[in-house]
Amino acid sequence: MGKPVIGIVMGSDSDLSVMKDAAVVLGKLGLSYEMVIISAHRTPERAEEYARTASERGIKVIIAGAGKAAHLAGVLAAYTPLPIIGIPILTSSLGGADSLYSMVQMPSGVPVAVVALNGAKNAGILAAQMIGTGDLEVRTRIAKYKEDMKAEVNKKSTRLEEIGYDAYLKEIK
């Protein structure tokens, strides 16, 4: 797909099961990405280097996912002028509230756009929409993606109306 335009960064390999959803949707939209593991706390120098050099490598948006003390998105935002989309990862200890608060409570001047807990798919779509502001081809693919979602919902609704909820529930299990 060419040179990566979106960076997908996760704090740990345990986040990969969530973060893959961003990669999947970006692939469907035909956007190239790179995916790396960088810890804001265990490899802070690498986080700084990644953020500082992202733009010169062709990255236009960074998606950052982390759980618990989820400072990764904020650390990256501190070192780059690029937009950062944070994905708070659901944790067992505090139900993800710790991850969410670490991302949404950024100080003035260091913004991080934040999606829902484990919302990697939405992060991928949002990153594509950001790229699409300056690329008609990408905007067209996003519009088609949304039309396909609409058609799928309408198909499900028609099926539910045809067979009723009991049969529908058995069918989708």
The 10s digit of each residue's pLDDT in 21-34 is 999 999 999 999 99
Residue type (1 letter), 21: D
Out of 7-21, 46-60, 85-99, 104-118, least confident range: 85-99
pLDDT of residue 62 exceeding 80, the answer is: yes
* Helix (H), strand (E) at residue 65: strand 61-67
Average the pLDDT over 38-65 and give the result: 97
Instruction: Please tell me the distance from the alpha carbon of residue 141 to that of residue 41, in angstroms, as a whole number.
Output: 37
Q: What is the pLDDT at residue 93?
A: 81
pLDDT tens across 64-116, in order? 999 988 899 999 999 999 999 999 999 888 889 999 999 999 999 999 999 99
pLDDT of residue 1 exceeding 80, the answer is: no
Q: What is the pLDDT at residue 92?
A: 82
Confidence of residue 44 (pLDDT cuts 50, 70, 90): very high
- Count how many residues are written for the chain: 173
Instruction: Please tell me the distance from the alpha carbon of residue 90 to that of residue 88, in angstroms, as a whole number.
Output: 6
pLDDT of residue 146 exceeding 80, the answer is: yes
**CB count, 10 Å around CB of 8?**
26
